[in-house]
Amino acid sequence: MSLGINKVILVGNLGKDPILQDIGNGVKKATFTLATTESLPGRDGIKTEHTEWHNIIVWRGLAEVAEKFLRKGHQVYIEGRLRNSQYTDKEGIKRFSIDILCDHMVMLGGGNKTTPAPIVTSQQGEFGTQPINQNDPVQENNLNYSNEGSNDDLPF
């Protein structure tokens, strides 16, 4: 039996505000795009930037946190796994999509530093608040959210 690992780690900036959907039975799903940019030296020695766009999906408590606290331009650390899917668009054309199913995220910056930061304690969305001391960089950057312990990526 072979072992497979499907793990993605990204640090980037939101391309748009998260969109929250209520799937039913109290289960929430949020989606947003994340841009990762790398600077590469060209043959002429001049650095060029290359940006990749990623579709991010978060479920349950992480979805509520994302919708409440993340905004376009905010920097975030994402851990998750790849999910390939296909669908047929309105014109009947078969399309393919690669999404990142987020299990863990850490807000890195771009937000209001005086806003209380939520602490997600479970995938069901239980969270509280913790005031942020803007003079404490360790606390400021330790806004850590997780869906760890989730056995599936579907709300059913």
Query: What local confidence, expressed as pLDDT, does residue 44 receive?
Result: 87
pLDDT tens digits for range 82-118: 999 999 999 999 999 999 999 998 988 765 444 444 4
Three-state secondary-structure class, residue 139 = helix
Confidence check: pLDDT of 138 > 50: no
Whether pLDDT at 137 is above 80: no
Domains and CATH numbers, the chain: 8-40+47-146 (2.40.50.140)
* Greatest Cα-to-Cα distance within the chain, rounded to the nearest angstrom: 57
Q: Across residues 62-78, what is the average pLDDT?
A: 92
Asked if residue 30 has pLDDT above 90, the reply is yes
- Tokens matching residue 151: 């056995």
Assess contact for 105 and 58: CB atoms under 8 A: yes
- Rounded CA-CA distance 3/133 in Å is 43
